[in-house]
Amino acid sequence: MSRRLRRKVSRKGKEKVVAHSYTEFEEGVSTSERNGDVDWTCLPDDTVIQLFSCLNYRDRASLASSCKTWRCLSASSCLWNSLDLRAHKCDLAMASSLASRCRNLQKLRFRGAESADAIIFLQARNLREISGDYCRKITDATLSVIAARHELLECLQLGPDFCERITSDAIKQIAFCCPKLTKLRLSGIRDVQGDAINALGKHCLHLIDVGFLDCLKVDELALGNVASLRFLSVAGTSNLKWGVVSHVWHKLPNLVGLDVSRTDVGPAAISRLLNLSLSLKVLCALNCPVLEGDVNFIVPKIKGKSLLAHFTDIFEGIASLFVDITSKGKTVFLDWRNSKKTHKCMDEMMSWFEWILSHSLLRSAENNPQGLDDFWLKQGAPLLLILMQSSQEDVQERAATGLATFVVIDDEHASIDRGRAEAVMRDGGIRLLLDLAKSWREGLQSEAAKAIANLSVNVNVAKAVAEEGGIDILASLARSMNRLVAEEAAGGLWNLSVGEEHKGAIAEAGGVKALVDLIFKWSSGGDGVLERAAGALANLAADDKCSMEVALAGGVHALVMLARNCKFEGVQEQAARALANLAAHGDSNGNNAAVGQEVGALEALVQLTRSPHEGVRQEAAGALWNLSFDDRNREAIASAGGVEALVALAQTCSNASPGLQERAAGALWGLSVSEANSVAIGREGGVAPLIALARSDAEDVHETAAGALWNLAFNPGNALRIVEEGGVPALVHLCSSSVSKMARFMAALALAYMFDGRMDEYALVGTSSESTSKIVSLDGSRRMALKHIEAFILMFSDRQAFTAAAASSAPAALAEVTEGARIQEAGHLRCSGAEIGRFISMLKNPSVLKACAAFALLQFTIPGGRHALHHAKLMQNAGAARVLRATAAAATAPIEAKIFARIVLRNLEHHQAESSKGL
């Protein structure tokens, strides 16, 4: 998938560090340099500083510790103008360690209340801009101290989540302490009172941009007193008195932009503001239900003013504000960014447009109101793509998050809107997102990776991501030391790994090892990243070749560790699914045995079958089912309490999903291959729930329940239990009515086991009166069973083909019968010597069981079947040929038994000839 440039590589620990290979050398260059060993400490200082500026803060610290020179250079003030602490746990200790470098810090981004408390210990008295996320727990006291310690503050933004514990008291403190404030944006304040707003107007004379977003109440009258305002947003704020707004705000002398998106503003207020305000140029009213619901509303056409709404052309509206711009439509933002002319007022306005549009579009995407499909396709998606190219980092992040969000229809079931996803792809969004993902800014990496992950649910988008090199980028991001970045990258690999065509590319890009390493790296405290990593490994493990890569990378140990120790159900479910897929390749690699041999693996899976979450139970049962194909695992599962756990699971899943029912019955089917386990299942009460599952409406459940009952019926005690629990009617129904040929076949074999005479001897044990009643009951059940076994055999008996085969020994005639009688899936069944011996004994039975046994042996020996050669050897060792010839020649035998016996003989001869060739 990727081209490789020839480079020299030096090793540092387990990682590779790329060093340039030089083809030309100047005089005086040392021998070590000619060999490609560059002395990095000799680089010019400005080059080192430029290098440091391209790294995140963690990598800067790592390189700074390499030598004294770099440690000094890393402290250069130009490298510490801006600091983004959102991905880090910023506590008092961390803030104190950074303090010496933050004297000239201008811009700070943080996340959470703990980081907010630590900000003052950075001693960054020159801070001009503070932006905080996840501010629900930030208090008035914390915000007031921040304001008091940073009197030069010009911009303060807290959101987009709600600041539930901040009140107007803190806003007043900001006004008193930060007179140079020009921009204040707060989200989710309960009540922004008039005295706080008046304090802002009185003390912050340069305040031009205010945003009170998603607030419960804002004093509209007081906002009319902040004469310096040029831009005002009250998007999402409720309880606004629009009569007051329309009569007061239009008097603001400098107000250029007003954002009332996601409010209950009506046409009257909109018209009054646009008509009466002398300064207002743009009014943004996106997703305003009252306004959009008025079919009679006509947008006022006022020169130099524009209304931005879902029902207007937003691009044209913004373009109309330019007097010296020739472009129109969707190029207006790009033309403005590329313009060599500078116009401070328009630059401020366009930057504000980007901010409010990114915020409103993200909120609309999160709420996903009805009726916006046309808007998203024609304007929303193109706007988000254009905003991703903004010079404002927070706008880029919100735009990427908006793309990740607006395509999702059903988050729980990972459903996305195909039209929206392909609109993003069609407009070049994949390339833009991948470019953002390659940014050194971890916030952009995280949000871009999230968008790529969500969009990749669509098959066509996933293909485009792969073709654009997205798999290599995501695999690289999955190695990030930033948990949020690694988590979203793992999510992208998870969704891409659904496609069979991408699995190999992910492995080639080193994605398998990166995912396994993530599990070890975030084994505690990273449920999101662990679930995504385990989910991606589960998908990859479904591929035979990739499953071996997973095992070689330490994936078995990592996944078992999750299954044993993690308490989060999403992680448990994906870890169990991954182990199930690893164990599903028993014929082609040794992962099945490897999982079983991993310490604690089987015990953990047995324990997970008792989980309160159905998905976890389902995947754990599926893993045990696959693992039970290995003889050692089968017995070890039983020793770990697997029989009791799976019987209990089967007893409780009659009303569960078909997937859980199938796997619960399948796991019991796998365990019951061992006669000791079969007896234990019967003793633990496993017969009744399997009979109940045999009555399921789902075809797959029919097969696993019938298979388990077939195995159980081999034991005469279990056979009698099946009769006593009402299993005969259930098996008869399967035998005659199931959509699945395989289920009908195994139901017939179970009935054949039950009524070949062995159960009769077992039923005679006890008092004479009990024996008599049992015999009477068994007689009726036997007649019913034999009747339906015969009917089943006749389903595969073409009279014309049978007559031709009886009259001729030509291979073509037998081949035609074989083709008509073949049950494709039966070739995957593997029988023991005891089972083969039992069918050979049935060939001597005078009833329809003779034909049933011949039919079964035909299925087990058809050339090409997975275990056909194994069965042929067992039959040869048991002397089956003699019995088969006797059956084929018996004058009184049913024609079906005779023809099927002849076919089985031919199959044995074929396998014997093949074995001779091999020797």
Answer whether residue 17 shows pLDDT above 70: no
Are 203 and 303 found together in one domain?
no
The answer to whether residue 284 scores a pLDDT higher than 50 is yes
Query: Which residue has 């400098």 as its token pair?
Result: 254
CA distances from 54 to 46, 49, 440, 444, 575 (A): 13, 9, 6, 14, 37
Residue 886: which pLDDT band, with cuts at 50, 70 and 90?
very high
- In this structure, what CATH number is given to the domain that contains residue 60? 1.20.1280.50
Q: What is the DSSP letter of 284?
A: E
**Has residue 381 been placed in a domain?**
no
* 444 belongs to a structural domain: no
Residue whose tokens read 């933050």: 102
Reading the block at residue 771, the tokens are 């024996």
879 and 912 in a single domain? The answer is yes
**Global confidence as pTM:** 0.85
Model confidence band, residue 336 (pLDDT cutoffs 50, 70, 90)? confident
Q: Which domain does 910 fall in, by range?
A: 797-918
Tokens representing 744?
């009908």
Q: Are 869 and 823 in contact (CB under 8 A)?
A: no
Average pLDDT over residues 63-84: 74
Task: Please tell me the predicted confidence (pLDDT) of residue 918.
Answer: 60
Confidence of residue 763 (pLDDT cuts 50, 70, 90): low
Torsion (CA) 494, 496, 500, 502 in degrees, nearest 10:
-120
**Residue 810, pLDDT above cutoff 80:** no
Q: What's the total number of domains in the chain?
A: 4
Given a cut of 90, is residue 49 above it in pLDDT?
no
Looking at the structure, do residues 125 and 214 belong to the same domain, yes or no? yes
Mean pLDDT of 835-860: 93
For residue 53, give the 3-state DSSP assignment. helix
Are both 226 and 151 inside the same structural domain?
yes
Residue pair 486/478 in contact (Cβ under 8 Å)? The answer is yes
Residues 202, 144, single domain; the answer is yes
Cα 483 to Cα 110, 495, 781: the distances in Å are 16, 18, 63
| Averaged pLDDT score across all residues of the chain | 88
Q: CA 787, 788, 793 angle in degrees (round to 5)?
A: 105
Residues 6+ apart with CB under 8 A from 251: 224, 277
| Residue 18 phi, psi dihedral angles, 5° rounding | -80, 130
**Residue 745 φ/ψ region, left for φ over 0, alpha for ψ in the -120 to 50 degree band, beta for the rest:** alpha
pLDDT of residue 9: 31
pLDDT (average), residues 175-199 = 96
Give the C-alpha separation, 750 to 732, whole Å: 10
The reply to whether 296 falls in a domain is yes
Long-range contacts of 697-702 (CB under 8 A, 24+ apart): 697/658, 698/658, 698/661, 698/662, 699/738, 699/739, 699/740, 699/743, 700/658, 700/662, 700/740, 701/658, 701/661, 701/662, 701/665, 702/734, 702/738, 702/739, 702/740, 702/743
Q: Sheet containing 107-111: give its strands across.
A: 82-84, 107-111, 129-133, 155-158, 183-187, 209-213, 231-233, 257-259, 282-284, 306-308
Residues 6+ positions from 435 with CB-CB distance below 8 Å: none
- Rg of the chain, C-alpha, whole Å: 37
In whole angstroms, what is the distance from residue 784 CA to residue 778 CA?
A: 10
- Taking a C-beta distance cutoff of 8 angstroms, is the pair 288, 253 a contact? no
Least confident of 88-97, 131-140, 160-169, 537-546: 88-97
Tell me, yes or no, whether 872 and 807 share the same domain.
Answer: yes
CB atoms inside a 10 Å sphere around CB 615:
18
Query: Does the structure show a pLDDT above 60 at 38?
Result: no
The DSSP bridge pattern shows strands 8-12 and 15-19 to be antiparallel
Average pLDDT over residues 155-182: 95
Q: How far is Cα 179 from Cα 377, in angstroms, rounded to an integer?
A: 44
User: Do the domain assignments include residue 308?
Assistant: yes
Q: Flag the least confident range among 478-487, 715-724, 803-812.
A: 803-812
- The phi and psi torsions of 157 (rounded to 5 degrees) equal -130, 125
Other beta carbons within 10 angstroms of residue 145's beta carbon come to: 18
How far is Cα 240 from Cα 191, in angstroms, rounded to an integer? 11
Residues 184 and 251 occupy one common structural domain: no
For residue 269, what are the contacts with CB-CB under 8 A and spacing of at least 6?
242, 243, 245, 246
- Report the share of the chain in percent with pLDDT over 90: 68
pLDDT range class, residue 56, cuts 50, 70, 90: low
Contact between 695 and 733 (Cβ < 8 Å): yes
Note the pLDDT of residue 6: 27
If asked whether residues 194 and 291 sit together in one domain, one would say no
Average pLDDT over residues 893-911: 91
Alpha carbons 493 and 466: distance in angstroms, whole number: 10
CATH number of the domain that residue 201 is part of: 3.80.10.10
853 domain residue, yes or no: yes
pLDDT class for 218, splitting at 50, 70, 90? Answer: very high
Residue 487 falls inside a structural domain: no
Task: Answer with the one of 194, 213, 233 that is the final residue of a domain.
Answer: 233
φ/ψ (deg, to 5) at 82: -135, 145
Distance between terminal CA atoms of the chain?
43
Residue 29 lies in a domain: no
**Structure confidence by residue, pLDDT tens digits, 483-527:** 999 999 999 999 999 999 999 999 999 999 999 999 999 988 778
Distance CA 433, CA 465 (A): 10
- Residue 288 reports pLDDT greater than 60: yes
The predicted-structure confidence for 573-632, as pLDDT tens digits, reads as follows 999 999 999 999 877 788 999 999 999 999 999 999 999 999 999 999 999 999 999 999
Higher confidence at residue 327 or residue 296? 296
Q: Do 148 and 210 have their domain in common?
A: yes
- Where residue 649 falls (left for φ over 0; alpha for ψ -120 to 50; beta otherwise) is alpha
Q: Are residues 855 and 887 in the same domain?
A: yes
| Banded pLDDT at 334 (limits 50, 70, 90) | confident
The last residue of one of the domains, among 293, 312, 331, is 312
Residue with tokens 């291979």: 811
Cα atoms in the 13 Å half-sphere on the side-chain side of 115:
22
> Does residue 100 form part of some domain?
no
- The answer on 177 and 66 residing in a single domain is no
| Together in a domain, 220 and 255 | no
Question: Above 50 in pLDDT, residue 13?
Answer: no
Q: Are 544 and 500 in contact (CB under 8 A)?
A: no
CA atoms of 756 and 244, how far apart (whole Å): 92
Q: Where a domain ends, among 53, 79, 105?
A: 79
Residue 24 has pLDDT above 70, yes or no: no
Q: Rounded to 5 degrees, what angle do the CA atoms 385, 285, 193 make?
A: 115
